Amino acid sequence: MEESLILTPTESKMPFTKPFSLLSLGHGKKVVIIQFFKWRDDIGEYLVKDRLAPFYEIYQFGREAWLGEEDKTAEFAGEKFTVECVRNRDKELAKRGLDFAGKIMREKKPHLLVLDEIALAAYWKLLDVRDVLTLLDNVPDETTVVMTGRLAPKELVDRADFVNVVELVKMPEDFKLTEGIQY
């Protein structure tokens, strides 16, 4: 079987890799998620890891900060938070995450490997898109890779077998994050 590469760039605030994970887990298949920007251990996909082991693993390669293209204070879902510019430390963490993904593929050959927000990491130059393509050239036949993130570079879109773009059409003005839905 040849690997499948699925890219799901999204502008939405909803998580879209969970259905893929649930389908694989439901069939007793190994799922590994590598998150390139996240650090929080209070999000659903991280909290469930011990209950779903040994079929489910999740690794985070983000520092404790919301990242953006400029330093600013932002508001989302009624909460204010500080956004920090990308720093060299973020590039180091992203590179560690990419190297770790290669190691996981070689050693564990998971049924599903989710590279969460890798498209944005490549767009923001945390990762060289050529390094991501090299990783994708070495995917084992038994592994399907799902890459997520907005602003996906053309090279990743071209390399993917399936591309879905999720667009935010509307959101209530008084939107609040819901535990178990958005996180």
pLDDT at 68: 87
Q: Express as a percent the part of the chain with pLDDT over 70.
A: 90
Segments making up each domain of the chain, as ranges? 5-163
pLDDT at 96: 98
pLDDT at 15: 54
CATH class of domain segment(s) 5-163: alpha beta
Q: Kindly report the pTM of this predicted structure.
A: 0.88
Question: Which 3-state string (H, E, C) describes the chain?
Answer: CCCCEEEECECCCCCCCHHHHHHHHHCCCCEEEEECCCCCCCCHHHHCHHHHCCCEEEEECCCCCEEECCCEEEEECCEEEEEEECCHHHHHHHHHHHHHHHHHHHHHCCCEEEEECHHHHHHCCCCCHHHHHHHHCCCCCCCEEEEECCCCCHHHHHHCCEECCECCCCCCCCCCCCCCCCC
pLDDT tens per residue, range 88-146:
999 999 999 999 999 999 999 999 999 999 999 999 999 999 999 999 999 999 999 99
pLDDT tens per residue, range 9-67:
655 554 556 677 888 899 999 999 999 999 999 999 999 999 999 999 999 999 999 89
